[in-house]
Chain A
Amino acid sequence: MELEQRVIKIVSEAANVETSNVQASTNFVDDLNLDSLDMVEMMMKMEEEFGIDIPEEKTEDLKTISDVTNFLKQNAN
């Protein structure tokens, strides 16, 4: 599965919405109503899925699907 699709899958599960409702520009808070705790849980799932460490201060900058995919591309092993 493509990187973006894997991210979308995790995000749609966290927000409990269909993957078709999530695009690259989708904002976690504004579009999906995720709260801060949902965000922590979702970032933990990202860490597990992609085997990387997402520093806490970095998570504040990750607001959309494309923010996450860009971060993953830059930090992937």
Chain B
Amino acid sequence: MKAIFPDLEGKRILITGASRGIGREIALNLAKQKAHIIFNYRKSEEEANKLKEELIQAGAVDVTALQFDINDSDSYQDKLTNFIKETGAIEGLVNNAGVSKDQLTLRIKKEDLDFVLDTNLKSTMMLTNFLSKNFLRANNVSIVHMSSVVGLMGNASQTSYAASKAGIIGYSKSYAKELASKNIRSNVICPGFIETDMTEALSETAKEKYISQIPLGGYGSTEDVAMSCLFLLSQASRYITGEVIKVDGGLYI
């Protein structure tokens, strides 16, 4: 599978949660498109350097690794401001970092709910809001939010996760309307059952049950999601904003 989006070459794109799963695959595919990738890491500098090296090998024109936690806006404001001052405006954003904590609604404690909503929804909004002034200085800005098909269809034992992911859709649509006149686009991808560490944690019975409901059959791959993300980041989708694209094999039709 080789899609080429020439306008992504050299485009400065920030991606959160690039260390594994879907985020990592998006970063690798952006590298193949010769983008300038900026990613954050929380702890291990060694792992960040390894990923950086890998992305450069894959073709990225430049890679910037910044240490910050998306849940702590104080940890990224100065770093991103300095990056923008020294290198130039950030032109693309992939809000990918996310967590899930599946449990029965009856057992959810406030801390659990805060953790999921803060990481998946609030931090996405805070980071995007923070970068908005920067976006006004850039051209052809595209923001892609990683939601989930669960945010559309709901799922037992995932009330907090589903609420956070549905919240992202409302945010993205409002943001798209507000900033459209400045040619800033905002779209959402809703992955379905994609093979990652996060879905690996599901029980065999749950997996089988899901797969039987997927019209296209089988799991999706992280590359399936990455391809849609590249499309939304590039000018190939220049007339698309406020959209929600499901990458779910038809799970939720």
Q: Footprint of B on A, CB under 8 Å? A: 35, 37-38, 40-41, 44
**Number of chain B residues whose Cβ lies closer than 8 Å to a Cβ of chain A:** 7
Whole-angstrom CA separation of A41 from B184 in the bound complex: 13
CB B225 to nearest CB in A, in angstroms, measures 31
Whole-angstrom CA separation of A40 from B182 in the bound complex: 11
Can you report 13 A-B residue pairs in the complex whose CB atoms are below 8 A from each other?
Answer: A35-B181, A37-B178, A37-B179, A37-B181, A37-B182, A38-B181, A40-B133, A40-B136, A41-B136, A41-B182, A44-B133, A44-B136, A44-B137
Given contacts A38-B181, A40-B133, A40-B136, 10 further A-B contacts (CB under 8 A): A35-B181, A37-B178, A37-B179, A37-B181, A37-B182, A41-B136, A41-B182, A44-B133, A44-B136, A44-B137
Binary interface encoding of chain B residues 185-199 relative to chain A, with 1 for a CB under 8 A from any of its CBs, else 0: 000000000000000
Whole-angstrom CA separation of A35 from B182 in the bound complex: 12
Q: Which 8 A-B pairs have the closest CB atoms?
A: A41-B136, A44-B136, A37-B181, A44-B133, A37-B182, A41-B182, A37-B178, A40-B136
Q: Which residues of A contact B133 (CB under 8 A)?
A: 40, 44
Whole-angstrom CA separation of A44 from B89 in the bound complex: 14
**Consensus secondary structure, chain A interface:** helix
Q: Footprint of A on B, CB under 8 Å? A: 133, 136-137, 178-179, 181-182
Q: Which residues of A contact B179 (CB under 8 A)?
A: 37
Q: Which residues of B contact A41 (CB under 8 A)?
A: 136, 182
Return the chain A residue nearest B132 by Cβ.
Answer: A40
Return the chain B residue nearest A36 by Cβ.
Answer: B178
Q: Which residues of A contact B181 (CB under 8 A)?
A: 35, 37-38
CB B87 to nearest CB in A, in angstroms, measures 17
Whole-angstrom CA separation of A44 from B132 in the bound complex: 12
Q: Which residues of A contact B178 (CB under 8 A)?
A: 37
